[in-house]
Structure 1
Amino acid sequence: MQSSNAEHFFETDAEQEKRQRRAAKAGNKYGNPIQLKSKILAAVPDPRSPSSALLVAESAGAVRLVNLDNPDSTKVFRGPTAPVCCVAVGGPNSATLFAGSWDKSIWSWDLASGAPGRRYTGHTDFVKAVVCSKIGGKDILISGGADKKILVWDIVSGARLHTLQDSVVNMLSIQDLVVDHASSSETEICLISASSDPHIRRWKIWVDGWEQIAEPSPQAPGAERHTIVEHETTVYKLVLEHDGGEVNLWTSSGDGTAKCLSRLRNFTCEDSFHHGDHVRAVAVTDQWVITAGRDEDVKFWDRASGKLYCSLVGHYDEVTELVMLRGTNGSSERLCSLSIDGTIRTWPLEKSGLDAAVMEQEKPAEAEKEDDAGGNGLLSAEEEAELAALMEED
């Protein structure tokens, strides 16, 4: 008889402790969790309902449309039989959903009807990142894979236009891609890529060619650096922020930090936030820098002071994604955190809401202390010490 119960297999003490801790933590309701049926690997807002709906990549091999305000109303895009790692929306009229899979291909569906579309094949390993853009009126799909390649596709024809690879510094598995629209034009895409090495690369892409952008060196005026290196190891996530006239590139890394790189200063580090473990995701507002990752907590940093404002618990496995949902019709912006634990949790962004969330999470700890002190027939630390002293006297 076969079993999937972890208790029936050999486990180290550390593995047992980890499993027991997660099991004890799994029932919490912090962040109003929506429980899905498999691990969540990525998500983007649904452009048709950007304040309330997410398109979620699941390890079960599907993309699920989740309405946060009506979780029972879901729509599932099926096709892959392997985990889906990444999602994007684009194509003519932004009407197509794209999903990169462990099966080395990119699947597509009509976003409105759910009808399957073209399947793009060409990678030789997992597809880990997809983004959409336009060049010269052509709708373009760009994908990055564990095969260390970035592929550029004509969405309508399905033709592969280019294969981008670094010929100078060995490029490892692609982790994330983002289009820098402020540096792009009608005839040229500026793409930024992150990978399992510390190197961040920028590329120019045309319909008939591409090149890797050399960066001015911050250490040697007049010299160039081939890549942007501000982290010590894997860069997981890239987020572009347009702050007035300045464009900042926010990054999260396996070195335990999230950083702000200023384009005006040749993508050198302006601010660094030390989360403390692998940082898988970062999000920013005018007030907050928000980080999350392997340690399961969602941390809010005061952007002005750089100090940690609060740390919200709830997830019981690694957080893989943070998604900002913008407010509409008078509603407030909110943050969604998504995790390998299969839950989507939603958090406020205003201080009063965060303070209330922290107070809610502190109540169980206070109640536990009270139980230890006076409830359940247990002695407080002072009473135990007094009893020990009396017994020694006897």
Structure 2
Amino acid sequence: METSNRDAFFQTDASNAERERKALKASNKNGDPIVMKSKILAAVPDPFSPSTAIFIAESAGFARRIDLISGATKATYRGPKAPVTCVAVGGSGNKTVFAGSWDKDIWSWDVETGQPGRKFSGHSDFLKAVLCTRIAGKEILISGGADKKILVWDIETGKRLHTLQDPTTTMLAVQHIAIDPVLSTPDAALIVSASSDPHIRRWKITVDGVEQLAEAFHDSPDVERLTIAEHDTSVYKLVYDLEGDEGDLWTASADGTAKCLVRSRNFVAEDTFEHGDYVRAVIPTENWVITAGRDENVKVWDKSSGKLYCTLEGHYEEVTDLILLRDSRGLPEKVCSVSIDGTIRTWPLKKTDLDEVVKKIEESSKPVEEEDKSQGDNLLTAEEEAELAELMDD
């Protein structure tokens, strides 16, 4: 008889220990977790409720709109039969949800009703990134995939306008795309793309054409570089700093670092934050730099000194994305983290509130440590272990 029960198969002591560690950690309430039923692979802010709601992409094939106050699902967007890897909100009036999937298509729905809309087909491998913008009065969708291509679409007609590929360097799977808020104009969008190689590429997109931009070396203005290469390996996230006047570019990489690429120095790295493992997401604010990734932790750094201020422990699987939540004045108020563990957690950014959260995390971990010392390996009964293992199964 076939079974999917992991206990029926041979497992190493290390894998069993790791499973038990995650099972024990899963019960923590740090960050006031909202629990979903599948892995969360990406998230974006809700443009209609930027302080209290987000859209998420799930491995179960759904996109959802989540109320962070109540924890309720405001809408579920169904259709894909494969994991949804990325999500965006755009179109006329921000009334459409777009989601890229492992099935190589981009799906769309009405934000309020969840009614399916047009499907965009053109990639030859699974999607990794989608975003929306407006160029020369047209609503535009931009997508990037594991097929090493960036495609530009007219949302209204569904027509593919352009295909972007680096003709002179080896561009690998596209990981992320961001729009330059400083150099973009009503008639042209300047975007940056990150991929599974260390190179960051810059593109200028108009309705009529595309152009890959070269960047001058800071120390040698007469010498151009086709790509920005400040990391050692894959770059997962690109975020422009909207709190400063310069609009510097922040990056998160598999080399274990997040970096600030300074615009005034032609995007040379000036600040480096050593997170310690794959960094999946980074967010800069006026006072903080927040990083998260494979080590399960959300780290908050002092932006001016570059020193680690605190570590927010709560997730028990890789953190896949960070979302900045803004108050009614548009100021950063909280940060939201999502993870493969299927939870959404929210953390404050005010220093006194952060201190209180860290204190509670430290206090909540003490009983577990004491129990570890007194009881050795017998932390749970066999029935409790089985129940926790079942809860951890996807």
TM-score clears 0.5: yes
Structure 2 counterpart of 1:82: 82
* Gap runs ≥5 in structure 2: 377-394
Query: Which residue in 2 is equivalent to 1:303?
Result: 303
CA contact (8 A) 2:135 2:206 kept: yes
Check the 8 A contact 2:61/2:82 in 1, yes or no.
yes
Alignment correspondent of 2:326:
326
Matched, 1:257 2:257: yes
Query: 1:18 aligned to 2:21?
Result: no
Q: Select between 243-252 and 285-294 the one with higher mean Cα deviation.
A: 243-252
Greater alpha carbon shift after TM alignment, 229-238 vs 71-80: 71-80
The Cα shift of 1:376 comes to 7.4
Deviations 1:1-37 (A, max 9, x none): 3332222222233222221111111111110000001
CA distance in 2 between partners of 1:329 and 1:181 (Å): 19
Deviation of 1:72 after TM superposition, in Å, equals 3.0
| Structure 2 counterpart SS, 1:228 | coil
C-alpha contact (below 8 Å) 2:64/2:73 kept by paired residues: no
Residues 372, 86 of structure 1: CA spacing in aligned structure 2 closer, same or farther, 3 A cutoff?
Answer: closer
1:121 and 2:121 aligned: yes
Shift of 1:370: 5.2
Matched with 2:189 is 189
Alignment CA distance shift 1:323-1:106 (3 Å): same
The letter of the residue matching 1:260 is C
Give, in whole Å, the separation in 1 of the partners of 2:324 and 2:228: 26
Over 3 Å counting, the alpha-carbon distance change for 1:318 and 1:73 in structure 2 is closer
Distance change (3 Å), C-alpha of 1:251 and 1:122? same
Q: Relative to 1, partners in 2 of residues 1:114 and 1:283: Cα closer, same or farther, differing over 3 Å?
A: same
Flag the 1:200–1:8 CA change in 2: closer, same or farther, 3 A.
Answer: same
- Cα drift, residue 180 of structure 1: 0.9
User: Residues 209, 360 of structure 1: CA spacing in aligned structure 2 closer, same or farther, 3 A cutoff?
Assistant: same
What is the CA-CA distance between 1:371 and the residue it aligns to? 5.5
| Local SS of the residue matching 1:239 | strand
Residues 311-320 or 321-330, more deviating: 321-330
Q: Which amino acid aligns with 1:50?
A: P
User: Helix, strand or coil for the counterpart of 2:18?
Assistant: helix
Give the % identical residues.
Answer: 59
What code does the residue aligned with 1:86 have? C
When normalised by structure 1's length, the TM-score is 0.92
Q: Which amino acid aligns with 1:147?
A: D
1:329 Cα deviation (Å)?
7.5
Deviation of the 1:116 alpha carbon = 0.6
Instruction: Pick which of 177-186 and 66-75 moved more.
Output: 66-75
Structure of greater Rg? 1
Unaligned runs of 5+ in 1: 378-394
Aligned residues: 376
Check the 8 A contact 1:247/1:264 in 2, yes or no: no
Report the Cα offset of residue 214 of structure 1.
0.6
Cα distance in 2 for partners of 1:248, 1:195 equals 19
Please give the secondary structure, in 1, of the residue aligned with 2:247.
Answer: strand
CA distance in structure 2 between the aligned counterparts of 1:126 and 1:369, rounded to whole angstroms: 43
Partner of 1:245: 245
- SS of match in other structure, 1:183: coil
Matched with 1:346 is 346
* Aligned residue in 1 for 2:282: 282
Q: Does 1:162 align with 2:162?
A: yes
Between the aligned partners of 2:124 and 2:364, the Cα distance in structure 1 is: 49
Point out the more displaced range, 363-372 or 159-168: 363-372
Q: Select between 244-253 and 192-201 the one with higher mean Cα deviation.
A: 244-253
Q: Match of 1:100, as an amino acid?
A: G
- Pairwise CA distance, 1:365: 3.6
Measured in 2, the distance between the counterparts of 1:216 and 1:330 equals 34
The alpha-carbon deviation at position 94 of structure 1 amounts to 1.5
1:102-121 CA-to-partner distances (Å, cap 9, x unmatched) read: 00000001112211100000
SS class of match (1:56): strand
Q: Which shows bigger deviation, 185-194 or 238-247?
A: 238-247
Alignment root-mean-square deviation, CA: 1.8
CA distance in 2, matches of 1:28, 1:243: 33
